[in-house]
Amino acid sequence: MQSASIQENEKTASGGDDDQRGWWFSDVQARSFNAQQECESSLGLEESIETVKTAVKDLGPFDGILGFSQGAALVAMLCALQEQKLEADFNFRFAVLVAGFRSACSQHRRFYEAPAITIPSLHVFGQDDRVIPEEMSRDLLPAFDGAQILIHPGGHFVPAASSHRQTYQDFLKKF
């Protein structure tokens, strides 16, 4: 039942079924995504990595990278590829991950088994997030060495109150 409600929240958060987009699908047959769905393989991750590589080549260089929700999960994977020196095009000096999480897809375990990611990171998550519960965001923290954390009392959104903005500014001033 919880899984169904999370899928509904994801649909609502993304604007409905017709507007669904993602970096990969956890359910290859249904071409859908659920952050809590365990799966053996995913569909679309390699194409998404190639899309980011192309953007970096064509539009970069970029000092940092920011991702929200599934995009933050992707950012963690991109940082792992950079840390492992598997992608020469990635040279991010920092990462901001909002409502990030570890992928539950066994095909993605390789991103979390390497040594901790040393790229400075700011992890932002809401205590009342019903799409990506706080525990899921906390589970991603050990993958990063020295992760900075911003916890807000809200749900599945990028917080922007003045105190939150100050945290972002303080983090970004380092770069």
Model pTM above 0.85: no
pLDDT digits (tens, 9 = 90+) for 10-65: 444 444 445 556 777 666 677 777 777 777 777 778 889 999 999 999 999 999 99
For residues 129 and 101, the answer to whether their CB atoms sit within 8 Å is no
Q: What is the pLDDT of residue 128?
A: 97
The DSSP result for 95-153, as a single string, is EEEES-----BGGGTHHHHSSPB-S-EEEEEETT-SSS-HHHHHHHGGGBTT-EEEEES
Q: What is the pLDDT of residue 162?
A: 92
What average pLDDT score do residues 161-170 get?
A: 94
pLDDT digits (tens, 9 = 90+) for 126-162: 999 999 999 999 999 999 999 999 999 999 999 999 9
Active-site residue list = 69, 129, 156
The token pair at 155 is 């749900």
Is the dihedral angle over the CA atoms 48, 53, 59, 61 positive or is it negative? positive
Distance CA 116, CA 120 (A): 11
